[in-house]
Amino acid sequence: MLIASTEGQGWCYEVIAQSDGFLVQARDLDTGEVSLNEITLFRTSPVALAYADMAAAADRFAASRLEEVEDWQTLADDYHHELDRFTAIRDRLSDDGVGGALLRCSRAGSLRDQAYRLH
């Protein structure tokens, strides 16, 4: 179930509640496609929400530097604020999350284990 979303410049970061935690995924604003490389699973919702906010702020800041926006310093300050907030919450709750590649390998392994148990 989608519980929150935060928009960057080119990506929307969605927080989805699942039975095994809170998934943050990046969706391209132009195409609507989800980037399989940009998914992270967290155990706790505060960390997932802070991560989505931080990722969106990073996206806005990076886009401002590429487009040479005059107000880039404000976006840089916003990004650093969100990064500090995410780091503090992550450290307090000891929730580093699991990245997309490891998550896909883990889920593929669990499917393989289930197949062995069935046969």
Domain residue spans in the chain? Answer: 2-118
Query: Which SS3 state, helix, strand or coil, does residue 19 take?
Result: coil
Q: What is the pLDDT of residue 108?
A: 57
pLDDT of residue 114: 47
State how far the Cα of 76 lies from the Cα of 99, in Å rounded to an integer: 25
The confidence score (pLDDT) of residue 2 equals: 96
Q: Is 79 exposed, middle or buried (0-12, 13-18, 19+ CB in 10 A)?
A: buried
Confidence at residue 109, expressed as pLDDT on a 0 to 100 scale: 56
**What pLDDT is attached to residue 118?**
47
What count of residues does the chain have? 119
According to the model, what pLDDT value does residue 69 have? 77
Q: Rounded to whole angstroms, how far apart are CA atoms 93 and 105?
A: 25
The residue type found at 70 is E
CA distance 107 to 7: 28
Instruction: Give me the average pLDDT of each 10-residue run along the chain (119 residues).
Output: 95 97 97 92 98 97 86 93 98 93 62 48
